[in-house]
Structure 1
Amino acid sequence: MDRTIKVTGKGKVSAKLDLIRINISIKEINKEYSKTLEMVSKSTKSLKETIIRAGLDIKNLKTLSFNISSQYESYYDKDNIYRSKFIGYCYKEKLYIQFPNDNKILSRVLYELSRCEVEVEFSIVYTVKDVNKIKNSLLEKAVEDSKNKAEILSKAAGVSLGKIKNINYSWGELEIYSRPIQDFELMKSDTVESYDMDIEADDIDLEDSVTIEWEIS
């Protein structure tokens, strides 16, 4: 029978949020398909011009999803029969743009979005530029923690710690983000000349774990 000890180690790091990501959604409906395509072209052009006015590189504006679908509305007719009628073609597009965590840049982007000809919905997310660096640091600390615990336990039990027999780690997508700004509404007004943001996003604490099985003798 193999003599082993199995220990779970935890890695913890505090990540400084150095990147801002603005998720943008556009949705418009038109009864004619050709008009819908025209709206797509107009919306894309307007949004790109908005990003350029904000002083950002248009190459950083990325599309997450895009689709045009037929939309129907359900109703009951005069005979109380459930029916549906065609209301138009719905154009939906989701995009995002990222830039350094800088309040001046954020202020410019929000101000230009408020002047954009296209109605947009958006959310502001703070994240990190080098996600892999954070992931690697977490794993290193988790393995180190497992080894330290295994050495303490084996010493207390009067046995010797041997080679690693197995490492169990559940690979998953590590989400590193914070939303300190919520329910922010853009004001389309001639009296609003700028947005002066003064947001200091707090560091985010992250944790990951790994289980290592060691031979003991």
Structure 2
Amino acid sequence: MERTITVRGVGNISAKPDFIVIEMDITGQSKKYSEALADASSAVEAVCNAAVSAGHSKDALKTINFGVSSEYDSVRNSKGTYQRVFVGYNCSYNTRLSFDFDRDMLERTLNAIAESKAEPELSIRFTVRDDSAVKSALLEAAAENAREKAQILCRASGVELGRLLTVNYDWSEIDLISPTGYAIERASFKQSAVVPDCIEPEDIKVRDTVAFVWEIV
């Protein structure tokens, strides 16, 4: 019977954020489908022009989701019962603007968007441009950790580590987002968007595990 040892390797990586992602929800509402679409599209165009004026390329603003929904309200009629009443159409664009970490560029971008009068709901995240490099380093760290633990266990047990038989990994998605939040109140965003010089996003710390099975001889 083949003797084996199974070890779970743990990788830990810390990465410095070097990329900014601004996601914006832009909407238009109207009782007419065409007007809701036109309002939302006009706001998207305004945000796109704002991005260009801040120094981004014309195709920098990406649409990641688009949808049109029908809005209804529940209204009580003269008989005391409630019925659904059509309110209008809601057209929404979910857009993304990504660029290398630069406080001045972030400030110019936010101010340009504020001046566009598009009034999008926005969120700002700090991440890394080359996520594949971070994920590769994380798996390498997990593999090194597993082999080190396997060798220690084998030495302590008076056996030798043999061939690697299997590797089990679930390929789950790794979230490479800095825990640093950047929130702007809508009222203050309309006035100005000054980015403090002291803003330094916290490093991204990620952890992953991989299971290895070796034969022991």
TM score, norm. by length of structure 2: 0.93
Paired AA for residue 127 in structure 2: T
Say whether 1:118 aligns with 2:131: no
Q: Is the 8 A contact 1:104 1:197 kept in 2?
A: no
For residues 87-133 of structure 1, give each alpha carbon's deviation from its aligned partner in whole angstroms, at most 9, with x where no partner exists: 11111110010111111011111111111121210000000000000
Q: Secondary structure at the match of 2:41?
A: helix
Q: Secondary structure at the match of 1:147?
A: helix
- Which one is further off, 178-187 or 64-73? 178-187
Equivalents in 2 of 1:4, 1:202: separation in Å? 41
**Equivalence map 1:136-147=2 (5 Å):** 136-147=136-147
Match of 2:69 in 1: 69
Q: Secondary structure at the match of 1:98?
A: strand
Q: Secondary structure at the match of 1:178?
A: coil
Alignment coverage as a number of residue pairs: 214
Equivalents in 2 of 1:139, 1:67: separation in Å? 38
Match of 2:108 in 1: 108
5+ residue gaps in structure 2?
Answer: none
Q: Is the 8 A contact 2:32 2:88 kept in 1?
A: yes
**Equivalence map 1:35-114=2 (5 Å):** 35-114=35-114
**Equivalence map 1:148-187=2 (5 Å):** 148-186=148-186, 187=188
Q: Is the 8 A contact 1:72 1:86 kept in 2?
A: yes
5+ residue gaps in structure 1?
Answer: none
TM score, norm. by length of structure 1: 0.93
Equivalents in 2 of 1:75, 1:37: separation in Å? 26
Paired AA for residue 216 in structure 2: I
Equivalents in 1 of 2:163, 2:182: separation in Å? 50
Task: Give the C-alpha shift of residue 179 in structure 1.
Answer: 4.7
RMSD over aligned Cα, in angstroms? 1.4
Q: Is the 8 A contact 2:126 2:177 kept in 1?
A: yes
Flag the 1:179–1:111 CA change in 2: closer, same or farther, 3 A. Answer: farther
Match of 1:16 in 2: 16
Paired AA for residue 183 in structure 1: A
Q: Is the 8 A contact 2:62 2:97 kept in 1?
A: yes
Task: Give the C-alpha shift of residue 37 in structure 1.
Answer: 2.7
Q: Is the 8 A contact 1:107 1:197 kept in 2?
A: no
Q: Is the 8 A contact 1:22 1:125 kept in 2?
A: yes
Percent of pairs with identical residues? 36
Flag the 1:97–1:202 CA change in 2: closer, same or farther, 3 A. Answer: same
Q: Secondary structure at the match of 2:133?
A: helix
Q: Is the 8 A contact 2:27 2:40 kept in 1?
A: no
For residues 63-94 of structure 1, give each alpha carbon's deviation from its aligned partner in whole angstroms, at most 9, with x where no partner exists: 11111122111122232212111111111110
Q: Secondary structure at the match of 1:180?
A: coil
